[in-house]
């Protein structure tokens, strides 16, 4: 079996690659700005605190783009929490709900208070969470900087007298035009082992220490004549790594290793916990465990191979199950036939 530590390193490598799209941490806060200049910000409780909570902010590029905000205190019965109360210093704001966008008026009232405090208390009945504000100014300044807002009236951390029009416009998202999806055939189950036998080390970069009969290999149709092989090459405590190949469905198969683009403009050939449906390939990588950071990405099958559709990752997370991913990359998908 592949050691868990090695698989964790693979997961963190994918997370690290995604981070180059514009992902930053400042004490208890993190910021991600994608390829369109849209930025997402998340603040958490202090690392040693027991009750996880997130304040998530997001803003598109452009002078008139509003700020969206929502509080997400972690609770197994979050839908039963009812009304939230937020206290910052001597000011109390009532009438909020978990995981729902604040009104523009609530955002305007709360943000200046948060910038000048050390923490905020969120409560629902007898339950409470403490949001750390260490790093919020630096995080919002990074958002302002990426979007060209510093010194304008629309800046969150450092407003000024520059015209609002100085803010940078959003960048267009690339278009990914999907090819039609193809269903697998009955005979494809026999095709998979035939192609795998032609590959050195079962299609893996390193020798496989999983019994061949136990490997979770899959084959999917890309077209009437081409197939996708998703081959398990390593297995850890809570996730597996896979190598991807394309091949012809007729001998000699001519298999080719898949190279997947990521937001860092690099390519890789392995995935953690992949899935394939229709014309879309997905992956979810867990950083260190079920309740910690992770990263996810999706690619579309096109006339030029797999193209990146979206990617997200989290770098702090602070014990939230599945983490709290922020968007690192986005594309516009054009479905087959359009």
Q: For residue 264, what pLDDT is reported? A: 63
Question: Looking at the predicted structure, is the pLDDT value of residue 269 above 60?
Answer: yes
Q: For residue 78, what pLDDT is reported? A: 78
Tell me the mean pLDDT in the region 158-182.
Answer: 96
- The DSSP-derived string for 180-239 is PP----TTHHHHHHHHHHTSGGGG-SS---S-GGG---EEEESSSSEEEEEEEEEE-SS-
Give 23-74 pLDDT, tens digit per residue: 999 999 999 999 999 999 999 999 999 899 999 999 999 999 999 999 999 9
Q: For residue 79, what pLDDT is reported? A: 76
Give the distance between the most distant pair of CA atoms in the chain: 75
Q: For residue 338, what pLDDT is reported? A: 63
Question: Global pTM?
Answer: 0.89
Residue pair 255/198 in contact by the 8 Å Cβ criterion:
yes
Tell me the mean pLDDT in the region 115-119.
Answer: 95
Tell me the mean pLDDT in the region 100-109.
Answer: 95
Question: Which of 200 and 18 is assigned the larger pLDDT?
Answer: 200
Q: Give the containing element (helix H, strand E) for 114.
A: helix 104-114
Question: Looking at the predicted structure, is the pLDDT value of residue 11 above 60?
Answer: no
C-alpha dist (Å) from residue 312 to 33, 224, 251, 296, 318 = 10, 32, 39, 5, 17
Tell me the mean pLDDT in the region 123-127.
Answer: 90
Question: Looking at the predicted structure, is the pLDDT value of residue 12 above 80?
Answer: no
d(CA 217, CA 144) in angstroms, rounded, equals 46
Give 285-312 pLDDT, tens digit per residue: 877 655 568 889 999 999 999 999 999 9
Give 194-208 pLDDT, tens digit per residue: 999 999 999 999 999
């Amino acid at each position: 079996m592949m050691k868990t530590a090695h698989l964790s390193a693979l997961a963190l490598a994918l997370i690290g690659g995604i981070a180059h799209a514009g992902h930053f941490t400042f004490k208890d806060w993190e910021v991600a700005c994608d390829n369109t200049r849209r930025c997402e910000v998340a603040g958490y409780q202090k690392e040693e605190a027991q009750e996880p909570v997130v304040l998530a902010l997001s803003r598109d590029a452009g002078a008139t783009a509003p700020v969206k905000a929502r509080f997400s205190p972690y609770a197994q019965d979050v839908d039963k929490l009812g009304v939230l109360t937020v206290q910052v210093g001597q000011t109390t704001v009532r009438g909020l709900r978990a995981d729902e966008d604040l009104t523009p008026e609530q955002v305007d009232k709360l943000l200046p208070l948060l910038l000048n405090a050390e923490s905020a208390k969120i409560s629902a009945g007898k339950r409470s969470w403490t949001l750390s504000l260490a790093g919020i100014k630096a995080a919002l300044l990074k958002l302002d900087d990426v979007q060209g807002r510093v010194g304008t009236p629309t800046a969150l951390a450092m407003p000024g007298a520059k015209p609002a029009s100085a803010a940078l416009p959003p960048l267009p998202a690339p278009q990914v035009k999907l090819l039609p999806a193809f269903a697998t055939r009955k005979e494809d189950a026999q095709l998979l082992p035939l192609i795998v036998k032609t590959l050195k080390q079962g299609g893996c970069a390193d020798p496989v220490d999983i019994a061949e009969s136990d490997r979770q290999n899959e084959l999917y149709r890309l077209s009437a004549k081409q197939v996708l092989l998703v081959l398990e090459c390593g297995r850890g405590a809570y996730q597996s790594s896979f190598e991807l190949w394309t091949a012809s469905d007729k001998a000699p198969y001519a298999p080719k290793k898949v190279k997947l683009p990521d937001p860092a403009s690099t390519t890789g050939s392995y995935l953690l916990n992949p899935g394939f449906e229709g014309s879309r390939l997905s992956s979810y990588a867990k950083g260190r465990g079920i309740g910690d950071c992770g990263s996810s990405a999706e690619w579309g099958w096109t006339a030029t191979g797999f193209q990146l559709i979206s990617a997200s990752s989290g770098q702090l997370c602070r014990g939230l199950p599945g983490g709290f991913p922020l968007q690192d990359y986005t594309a516009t998908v054009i479905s087959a036939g359009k």
